[in-house]
Amino acid sequence: MLDKKQLSDIGFSYVLEKLEPNSALGDELRRRAAPYPADGSDALICELENVGLLFGALKENREGFYPLERALMQLKDIRRSVASSRQITLSEVELFEIKRFLILLEGLEKACKELPVIERLNGISIFSMNEALNILDPDGMRAQTFRLSDNCSEELRLIRKERKRVDNALRSLTSASSAERDALTAERTILAAREENEEQRLRGIMSRDFSEHSQRLEELMGNIARLDFALSKAKLMLADGGCIPRIVPCGETAELELEGMVNPMLRAVLKEKGRSFTPVSIALSRGAAVITGANMGGKSVAVKTLALNAHLALSGFPVFAESAVIPMLGGIHLLYEDREDSRGGLSSFGGEMTRFGAILDSISETPDQLVLLDEFARGTNPSEGSALVRAAVRYFNAKKTAYALITTHFDFVASLASRHYQVMGLKNADPAELEAALSGTVGGSGAASELLSRFMDYGLFRAESTENPPRDALKICRALRVSDEFMGYVEENAGINDE
């Protein structure tokens, strides 16, 4: 499964930060966002349908949602106090917060009624709870304060009446003896204690009476959280584009298909550099597919973009793509070389193989998982690395229990895969134009590398299974002004010419 660092690397954490729920209840769902379980396709499909409905309504009338958003912003997360009412006597502050929440529900319900789309949402109903509110506001004043009124009990009324008399007597004392003042003060202390005890008794009754409505209020708060969270996803889709993926339930045969997908985090990075993100399209069936291409060619970008959008879809989010069909996956695994493994006493290759073994164990127990291996086994010598990659392709094709995608620059791998993609790279770059552009480069290899990236095409295309990885490496070396004398040795020893 994807860990916290990987979720950050692929851009999921970036997407979460862009979401803007209006309430603490919605924000709690944002912070806990995770894929639905494999048997949760019905709930996932309902969530995505809700996001789609809200997106359509937002697109048609964005300003119409402002009252709803303002109403949501006023709501605090009072779930702990509501749950506590079933066990203890609530404090005055807790009763105040619940009362205020119940009052604000009336405004939220009114805002929802102004939006017909709310009634069409799956499993989300917003309503006021006047019966519960009347328990906490017996006078019906609907003031956003809390104080037990004199009408709550005859005992409380009499105590407060006596206390008021004593307070007035203390204020009116001028030349009274200290004994008289002490007597009044002692009487006042006794009355204050009696008042506190009576208020505690009344809060206990009020808490118990309210607790009968607590579960219904908790269900309502769950509805509010889902509404706010779904609305925040619809707003993100309105701002940044994307589509609602079609989810295929477990047990149904389907390919994983994404057309024109992008990665918003990487797109933002490229935009700062004056460049644009090249959309990626890919389709996977059970078994192994391969992406080949030279380093710098965009293979890792394609893998991260696929991981992000698959994770988004399974977590109930719109995907950043033109269209998407996502099978209900049992999990997503992303494996790439991690130099931090050396901190635990393992080489990067050793750590990679340890994690790969865990992935194989996982897919043996739970089928239909997405396995993404980025430059698998490149941490060992090329001969053994190539053998490991070929073995991985054959293994996944034989098992047919996972959707596997492997990026590699090794030869003789694609012929074993069920599907072969290549990164365009410099395939369509005009050598003369590239040379002319690079000839005026100043600032060293860094500037040359930046310019070279402008000639790179990071899109994928379906290639023949017999086609080996493109020979862009030598072009890249020349473009980066690696010594001509050295490049002569390279070509002589490689026995190839990339022209």
pLDDT digits (tens, 9 = 90+) for 202-240: 999 999 999 999 999 999 999 999 999 999 999 999 999
Asked whether 124 and 50 are in contact (CB, 8 A), the reply is: yes
- Of 16-30, 120-134, 294-308, the poorest mean pLDDT is in 294-308
Residue 146 pLDDT: 86
The tokens describing 268, both together, are: 């933002």
Q: What is the CATH number of domain 4-147+211-233?
A: 1.10.1420
The CATH class given to the 242-494 domain equals: alpha beta
Q: List the strands of the sheet with 280-284, edge to edge.
A: 246-248, 323-327, 256-261, 280-284
Q: Which residue has the tokens 């490991």?
A: 388
Amino acid at 255: E
CA distances from 364 to 114, 173, 226, 367, 399 (A): 51, 88, 34, 7, 9
What is this structure's pTM? 0.86
Quick: pLDDT tens for 454-470: 666 677 887 776 666 66
- Of 76-85, 250-259, 400-409, 423-432, the poorest mean pLDDT is in 423-432
Residue 116 pLDDT: 96
Residue 456 pLDDT: 63
The beta strand positions in 191-339, using DSSP E, are: 246-248, 256-261, 280-284, 287-292, 323-327, 332-335
Rounded Cα distance, 239 and 264, in Å: 11
Dihedrals φ, ψ of 333, to 5°? -120, 135
Question: DSSP 3-state assignment of 141?
Answer: coil
The chain-wide mean pLDDT, for the chain, equals 88
Q: Percentage of residues in the chain with pLDDT exceeding 70? A: 84
- DSSP letter assigned to residue 63: G
pLDDT, average across residues 152-157:
91
Q: Which residue has the tokens 């379906």?
A: 462
User: Is 370 a residue whose pLDDT tops 50?
Assistant: yes
User: Is 353 a residue whose pLDDT tops 60?
Assistant: yes
- Of 242-246, 410-414, 468-472, the poorest mean pLDDT is in 468-472
User: Is 359 a residue whose pLDDT tops 90?
Assistant: yes
Quick: pLDDT tens for 412-443: 898 899 899 988 766 666 667 666 666 655 45
pLDDT, average across residues 270-286:
91
Pinpoint the residues of the chain covered by CATH 3.40.50.300.
242-494
Return the exposure string of 261-293: e unless at least 16 CB atoms fall within 10 Å of the residue's CB, then b: bbbbbbbeebeeeeeebbbbbbebbbbbbbbbb
Asked whether 458 and 298 are in contact (CB, 8 A), the reply is: yes
Amino acid at 288: A
